Chains A and B, each alone.
Chain A
Amino acid sequence: MIESLLNAFIAAAKIIGLNYSFLLSAYERGPWLEGIGITIGLALLSIVSSLLVGIVVASLLTSGKPWLANPTRAFVELTRNTPTLVQLYCAFFVLNMLINQAVGGAQNNPLSAFAWVVIVLSLHYGAIHAEALRAGIEAVPKVTRESALSLGFSRSESLRYVELPLAMRFALPSLVNNLVNLVKSTALGSAIAVGEVTYASLMIWTQRDNVLELMIFIFLVYGILTLLVARAGSWLETHLRMPGYGH
């Protein structure tokens, strides 16, 4: 059934001059489909952990304590002002090598290339989320914080129960924008041979010279993934809307 559908698709594509015959070769189709799975895995893990990093960094930035806020500010600036690709190279070729040496060989190093992509994307986008969240926290009126403190909330409880939930709402459009970018940035994994969909496609077209065909697929994969993130974002915006505020 699937086989015949596949054949029909390949035959139809051939009419307009596109060669998708790689889909019939399990040896090529397997890694390519796996690549889609790896891209989704990278995106999901990085989305969750970048948001966690963002919350922590934003909390530190707005802590009002210079010994916490200043080093955090330095981290944010460093992260925002260097290319993600350079950060990934630096992490994988420098830090990872150092770790390899320290633990006595790559075979003892628990961090895979996949893990490094998640780590670098989480820190990079975490710093960018933090700026959006900081703007959100600073948009919370001072008197709202005062009223939380007056009820007996500690500074961190006020942040957790009052300021961050409000900041999250103010920052949501920016956060969703960041997450769409994050999904696309997972393609950077191809630079250190993580077999996500871009890398998997690259491996196929170097053999078959079917760049256009695979490009169309790649666009579709990222297009669908970013659409899903944007949809989830607008669902959240509707769901979290505060009755009586905004429109």
Chain B
Amino acid sequence: MPHTETHHERPTLVQLRDVHLSFGSNKVLKGVDLNVRQGDAVSIIGPSGSGKSTILRCINGLLAPERGEIVVGNTPVHALKTEADRIALRKRIGFVFQQYNLFPHLSVLENIVIAPTRILGTDRQTAEREARELLARVRLSDKADAYPGQLSGGQQQRVAIARALAMHPELVLFDEVTSALDPETVGEVLAVIRELVQDGLTCILVTHEMRFAEEVSHEIVFTEGGEIVEHGTPQTIFHAPRNPRTHGFINALRN
């Protein structure tokens, strides 16, 4: 169970109000509300196609909602007009993808230093030192000179996490980061995320790892059909859900 008892007093970092989004005639988000406090880990669960990944892409401005408000810190994401504003937002938000999406032509070390050096203007030495610290943190110190194609899925995903952390994000979005992994490498990735949550990094996770979600999250959000059906503590959602749809989903997974 989550650690801090004072987390209710922490300020809100991410707020979504009545967010709507369609792809053509397909309504993907139908009025999503979400609150994430600083330092919280919030897991979004729900059936495939319920709009979970779309929510994450709206938060970092990869997708623009048709209606509704998204605020990250003091930034009204829904009102950002220029690419420069969206870039400024994305520098503050890490994003880890299901398919890792490392840059295959760059070594592990280069994958991690490219964004700090090219975008933040960090000098090469500092960036490289931080990259090596991050690699140690995800337990891949010996892989600095390897290329993504030479690593297992779990190793690539840990590099992807290190790459996101190299930008010193105030928020990290995890989009089904273990869904493409072999079962035996899932654990090593989850272990890294668990540590980040314990260190107080604000995380929003879209995940199918229910046991993990229950263990690390401060809050669970259940989505279905583009709506937030129910949200609450892991205890409530997994063991005493109020909504019958939540109940059905959780039960189906148990059996």
Contact = CB atoms under 8 A, between A and B. Distances in A.
Interface of A: 141, 143-144, 146-155, 157, 161-162, 165-166, 169, 240, 242-245
Given A147-B97, A155-B83, A243 B147 contact: yes
B150 interface: yes
B62 A150 contact: yes
A242 B118 contact: no
Interface of B: 60, 62, 83-84, 87, 90-91, 93-95, 97, 99, 101-105, 114-115, 118-119, 146-151, 160, 163-164, 167
A242 B115 contact: no
A144 B103 contact: yes
A243 B83 CA distance: 34
Closest 3 pairs (CB-CB, A-B): A244-B149, A147-B101, A150-B95
A150 B172 CA distance: 11
Nearest to A156: B83
Name which of A148, A149, A150, A245 has the most chain B CB atoms within 10 A of its CB.
A150
Contacts of B115: 151-153
A146 to B, nearest CB: 6
A153 B119 contact: yes
Contacts of A245: 104, 149
B105 A240 contact: yes
Given A141-B101, A151-B95, A242-B104, 7 more contacts: A143-B99, A144-B101, A147-B103, A152-B87, A166-B104, A166-B105, A242-B147
A189 to B, nearest CB: 37
B61 to A, nearest CB: 9
A244 B147 contact: yes
A174 B101 CA distance: 26
Contact of B118 (A144, A161, A244): A161
A148 B104 CA distance: 12
Contacts of B114: 151, 161
Given A144-B103, A169-B105, A151 B90 contact: yes
B87 A242 contact: no
Contacts of A240: 105
Contacts of A169: 105
5 contacts: A149-B62, A150-B62, A151-B167, A154-B87, A243-B150
Contacts of A143: 97, 99, 101
Contacts of B87: 152-154
A169 B104 CA distance: 11
